[in-house]
Amino acid sequence: MKFFADTAEIAEIRELAATGLLDGVTTNPSLIHKSGRDFLEVVKEIAGVVAGPVSAEVVALDYDGMMREAAVLRKLGDNIAIKVPLTPDGLKACKALTSDGTMVNVTLCFSAAQALLAAKAGATFISPFVGRHDDVGFDGMALIADIRLIYDNYDFPTQILVASVRHPIHVVEAARIGADVMTAPPKIIHQLFKHPLTDSGIASFLKDWQATGQKIA
């Protein structure tokens, strides 16, 4: 499963990229607003740091507006994936853009029916929001399982990009189901390293080593 970072903070992206674990980045207007920087400037910088796909979201709601904004965003890097909402105009833009060789991330997916429509429109990625789905009393991971089954039934190449990830269990469950990608804030990715037995094991080994009085270098 590919790991994308859901952030617009360049320092966090560079840190994760250095681990070799980062396969891409997802952004949205809200994340870039929090960074306090120019939208286009941030997206271009991220695209230069990460080799994998960088999702940049349009803000227009009509087809013509989306296509105009997409034309600007595509120029920011060869690895830009245009992020469009799951609406009739969004899927129309998706079809036009993917037909022209552009990666498209269809976002704000909350049902398997919506995911089916996005796949038929040629989406590169579909972004079901599992955390937000859970928030309103639905099972976000059941949604991922339904989408996986449907896509496998018809050999759709659209990649399932699990979004709105709230904790490491979301990541593990998505991997068990067979999601292609997950995107999460850097703090969630760092939590994947954590386990109390790892911490206690390191402490025990270090104590025993120090007792020997030896040095490696």
pLDDT tens for 142-168 read 999 999 999 999 999 999 999 999 999
Q: How confident is the model at residue 108 (pLDDT cuts 50, 70, 90)?
A: very high
Catalytic residue among 34, 75, 83, 187: 83
Catalytic residue check, 83: yes
Q: Which tokens belong to 13?
A: 């992206």
Instruction: Please report how the helices 168-177 and 140-154 are oriented relative to each other, as an axis angle in degrees rounded to 10.
Output: 20
Q: Please tell me the pTM assigned to this model.
A: 0.94
Q: Which tokens belong to 157?
A: 């190449």
Answer with the residue of higher pLDDT: 95 or 215. Answer: 95
Q: How confident is the model at residue 26 (pLDDT cuts 50, 70, 90)?
A: very high
SS3 of residue 108 by DSSP: strand
73 exposed, middle or buried (CB, 10 Å; 0-12, 13-18, 19+)? buried
**Cα gap 190→40, rounded to integer Å:** 27
Amino acid of residue 129: F
pLDDT tens for 35-66 read 888 999 999 999 999 999 999 999 999 999 99
